[in-house]
Amino acid sequence: MNRYPRDFHGYGCTTPDPKWPGGARIAVQFVINYEEGGENNVLHGDAASEAFLSEIVGAAPWPGQRHWNMESIYDYGARAGFWRLHRLFTGAEIPVTVYGVASALARSPAQVEAMREADWEIASHGLKWIDYKDHSAEAESADITEAIRLHREVVGTSPRGWYTGRSSINTVALAAETGVFDYISDTYDDDLPYWMQVAGRDQLIIPYTLDCNDMRFATPQGFNSGDQFYAYLRDTFDALYAEGCDGAAKMMSIGLHCRLVGRPGRIQALKRFIDYIKGFEGVWTPRRIDIADHWRATHPPQHPLRIDLMDRASFVEKFGGVFEHSAWIAERAFDLELGPAHNCVAGIHNALARVFRSSSHAERKAVLTAHPDLAGKLAAAKRLTAESTGEQASAGLDALTDAERSQFQDLNAAYVAKHGFPFIIAVKDHDKASILRHFEDRLANDTATEFTTACAQVERIARLRLESML
Active site residues: 371
What contacts 254, CB < 8 A, 6 or more positions away?
28, 29, 30, 31, 209, 212, 213, 233
Contact 455, 364 (CB under 8 A): yes
Calpha distance 412→373 (Å, rounded): 7
DSSP line for 262-282: TSHHHHHHHHHHHHHHTTSSS
**Cα–Cα distance, 430 to 428 (Å, whole number):** 6
Local structure of residue 36 (DSSP, 8 states)? T
Q: How far apart are CA 265 and CA 328, in angstroms?
A: 66
Strands 201-205 and 194-198: antiparallel
Return the closest-CA partner of residue 408 out of 446, 380, 449, 447.
380
From residue 401, give the alpha-carbon distance in Å to each of 16, 254, 437, 441: 47, 68, 17, 22
User: Would you give the distance in Å from CA 100 to the centre of its chain?
Assistant: 25
Gap between the terminal Cα atoms of the chain: 23
What is the rounded distance in angstroms from the CA atom of residue 204 to the CA atom of residue 181?
A: 9
CA distance 292 to 466: 34
Q: CA angle at residue 449 from 446 to 452, to 5 degrees?
A: 145
